[in-house]
């Protein structure tokens, strides 16, 4: 118990000095039907309590939940920074991507991409293909979400995505 307390004290000290930061980049809100349950305000409040530097809410093929974290941060005067992102799920078996637009123009391209996917689908769905993303990828920071089991197929996909996106592609990690 003493060791745990010492670790927590050391962590708090590093956080106060600005030397230790953590950002959660893959949170899901209640806008991802049957995936997320918490409201953005709740997620932001929890992130603040945990001392996170930033929180990226990436709902599935939608940006519907991105305004609420910014409102919560402003209204509650939170230190945690909301990040605007989206989890893209592809119909052609391309691995999922978490995407974060780098600027306003990239945000516009992301909204056009999602509109394209929604227009070719029935209501409430979004059908995207890798080619669609490539046509809208400029200015996006993309993080590949690996499958539960890493295999040769994922290695091949990763090499293809890396070849297409270069330095704008990152690999996520989670427990």
Q: What is the 3-state secondary structure (H, E, C) of 12-78?
A: HHHHHCCCCCCEEEEECCCCCCCCCCCCHHHHHHHHHHHCCCEEEECCECCCCCCHHHHHHHHHCCC
What's the pLDDT score for residue 35?
55
Query: All domains of the chain, ordered by start, with CATH?
Result: 1-84 (3.20.20.140), 85-175 (no CATH)
Percent of the chain whose pLDDT exceeds 90: 45
What pTM was estimated for this model as a whole?
0.81
Least confident of 33-42, 50-59, 76-85, 99-108: 33-42
What's the pLDDT score for residue 14?
57
pLDDT tens profile 120-132: 999 888 999 999 9
CA atoms within 13 A of residue 84's CA, in its CB half-sphere: 17
36-45, 66-75, 83-92, 129-138: range with highest mean pLDDT: 129-138
């Amino acid at each position: 118990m003493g060791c745990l307390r010492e670790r927590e004290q050391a962590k708090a000290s590093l956080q106060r000095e600005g030397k230790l930061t953590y950002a959660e980049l893959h949170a899901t809100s209640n806008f991802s039907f049957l995936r997320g349950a918490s409201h953005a305000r709740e997620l932001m409040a929890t992130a603040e309590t945990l001392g996170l530097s930033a929180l990226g809410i990436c709902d599935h093929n939608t940006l519907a939940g991105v305004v609420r974290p910014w409102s919560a941060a402003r209204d509650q005067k939170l230190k945690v920074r909301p990040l605007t992102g989206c989890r893209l799920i592809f119909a052609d078996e391309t691995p999922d991507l978490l995407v974060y637009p780098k600027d306003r123009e990239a945000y516009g391209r992301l909204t056009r991409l999602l509109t394209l996917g929604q227009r070719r689908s029935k209501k409430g769905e979004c059908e995207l293909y890798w080619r669609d993303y490539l046509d809208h990828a400029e200015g996006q920071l993309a993080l590949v979400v690996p499958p539960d089991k890493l295999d040769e197929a994922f290695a091949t996909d990763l090499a293809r995505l890396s070849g297409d996106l270069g330095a704008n592609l990152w690999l996520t990690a989670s427990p």
